[in-house]
Amino acid sequence: MIELRKMDEADYPAYATLVMDERVMRYITEHALTDSEAKRRFASIIERQRHDRLGTYVVYQDETWIGIGHVTRSVRQPFEAELGYMLLPEQWGNGYGSLLASRLLELATEHELTVVTATIDPNHVASRKILTNLGFHSTYVGPIDGLPGEILEKRLGDPV
């Protein structure tokens, strides 16, 4: 069983390990972040989640750190949120992505959200499979911030 702990300032090294890894970022930004980019994004994450019970979580399996996941509430639509996750490459293929996405959906439901979206690279077959197996459906395919993108959506309460 995976465990989630809300990320705090002390978790920057773990965050940096993921976002500064080309393999992890291949389908997210198409390149690893620099240290200054990582620090800027990390500070933004920490600040944003100070004002919400939801946020970004450090994920463990049997006390072993395996990655990070988030449920980030929409600024414009308070009952909507975006779900996302990054796993250490050595943890890929072990089913943790599905477990984590499922657990993040549970959090969204517990916090009375009605719609959860996920933005992926349309070429990331594994993430697409995880999300569609959880009942997400595609609502947009096209450029997002100059990169290939696809938005998948799940209305909570809909069957899987």
| pLDDT tens digits, 110-140 | 988 999 999 999 999 999 999 999 999 999 9
Total count of residues recorded for the chain? 160
In a domain, 26, yes or no: yes
Integer CA distances (angstroms), 154 to 39, 117, 125, 129, in order: 31, 6, 18, 14
In a domain, 160, yes or no: no
- pLDDT tens for 6-62 read 999 999 999 999 999 999 999 898 999 999 999 999 999 999 888 888 999 999 999
- Residue 158: the pLDDT is 64
In a domain, 147, yes or no: yes
Range of the domain at 34: 2-155
Q: Which two tokens stand for residue 81?
A: 């949120």
The residue assigned the tokens 């999300």 is 131
Number of domains the chain contains: 1
In a domain, 73, yes or no: yes
CATH number for the domain spanning 53: value is 3.40.630.30
pTM: 0.91
